[in-house]
Amino acid sequence: MKSLTVNLAEHSYPIYIEQGIDNLNSLLTPHIKSRQVVVVSNETVLPIFKTSIALSLENYDVRYFQMEDGEQYKTLDTYERIMSFLLEQQVSRDVTLIALGGGVVGDITGFVAATFMRGVDFIQIPTTLLSQVDSSVGGKTAVNHSLGKNMIGAFYQPKAVIIDVESLSTLPARELSAGLAEVVKYGILGDRDFFEYLEANAAHIMSLDKGVLSYVIAKCCQLKADIVSQDEKEQGVRALLNLGHTFGHAIEAEQGYGNWLHGEAVAVGMVQAATLAKARGWLSQDDVTRVVNLLKLFNLPVEGPANMNLASYLKHMKKDKKVLSQTIRFILPKSLGQAILVSDVSEKELQKILE
């Protein structure tokens, strides 16, 4: 087992990474206050893992809430349904919620935990690569609104994150690829050596080599934990984790949540950010080509939707959470392994790279 800690003073918590979890009960128990546990999952994940979760929690009073599967269900309506379920079950404020699933389940469960009775404990058990390397770590919780992605939420840290690498064998190939976009992101924004490791080990990753995947997941979690420990509520350096997301969120919103997976949109967004960085003289054409080729090795798209133009990007970008004083801010790679936040990108620059 690999383990690391997100250091946030009294809000610090462990991340456990295992290749098959035989001791889930012993990992969960230290982080559960009372016998009351509510597992929130979805219609795809719960049937796969319910038996093992039930065995691990056999000494607890466990209830299950099963939501629909998909980004389009990360809404206030689902949030309200979970809240109603908790109230109907008459759980108390020492209940522990367990988010069992991907990023959608983790985000919405965390937001429920942050607001039910003004805050109850929750534990993340992420089952997709995207959630294991990114969304389960750092305490960002939210639901989507028709006018913007993740615009309603809270910073609220879990008590623990428990990752089983073997759960990735249950993923559809498209979901695995979507998670790899976030993996590539970490190499581009903060670790050139890791980017080169991904280039050298792409085939092992795609074949689900457990040793390689364990290293990749641990590395991403450590990189994110280091950033979150410096800037829990995204007042500075944490914004760098949004590399590719300003473009990507616009694609997701314009195409309809769920039609493009988050990682697919982010992959295109990173190519667009790299292309913009090249236009500014920061990246070489070879750098951009390496980014494109690595994303292609992971079966990710590298071109935006044909039906989107500058206007369709801008209408969503202007609602981005990084907008300050009506100025859209972008995360751009200064080099492979280093990114910066910029606020002086003109519409002319955007038009040129979107063409």
User: 88, 118, 307, 348: which is the annotated catalytic residue?
Assistant: 118
User: 71, 232, 234, 252: which is the annotated catalytic residue?
Assistant: 234
User: 18, 42, 74, 140: which is the annotated catalytic residue?
Assistant: 140
* Catalytic residue flag (residue 234): yes
User: 149, 219, 245, 278: which is the annotated catalytic residue?
Assistant: 245
Q: Are strands 36-42 and 96-101 parallel, antiparallel or unpaired?
A: parallel
* Catalytic residue flag (residue 238): yes
Tokens coding 140: 């960002």
User: 219, 249, 290, 316: which is the annotated catalytic residue?
Assistant: 249
* Catalytic residue flag (residue 224): yes
Asked whether 94 and 119 are in contact (CB, 8 A), the reply is no
* Catalytic residue flag (residue 334): no
User: 149, 185, 219, 262: which is the annotated catalytic residue?
Assistant: 262
Please give the Cα distance from 353 to 173 (Å, whole number).
30
Please give the Cα distance from 326 to 319 (Å, whole number).
9
* Catalytic residue flag (residue 11): no
* Catalytic residue flag (residue 145): no
* Catalytic residue flag (residue 118): yes
User: 242, 264, 278, 290: which is the annotated catalytic residue?
Assistant: 242
User: 182, 252, 254, 264: which is the annotated catalytic residue?
Assistant: 182
* Catalytic residue flag (residue 182): yes
User: 74, 159, 224, 329: which is the annotated catalytic residue?
Assistant: 224
* Catalytic residue flag (residue 262): yes
Catalytic residue set:
118, 140, 182, 224, 234, 238, 242, 245, 249, 262
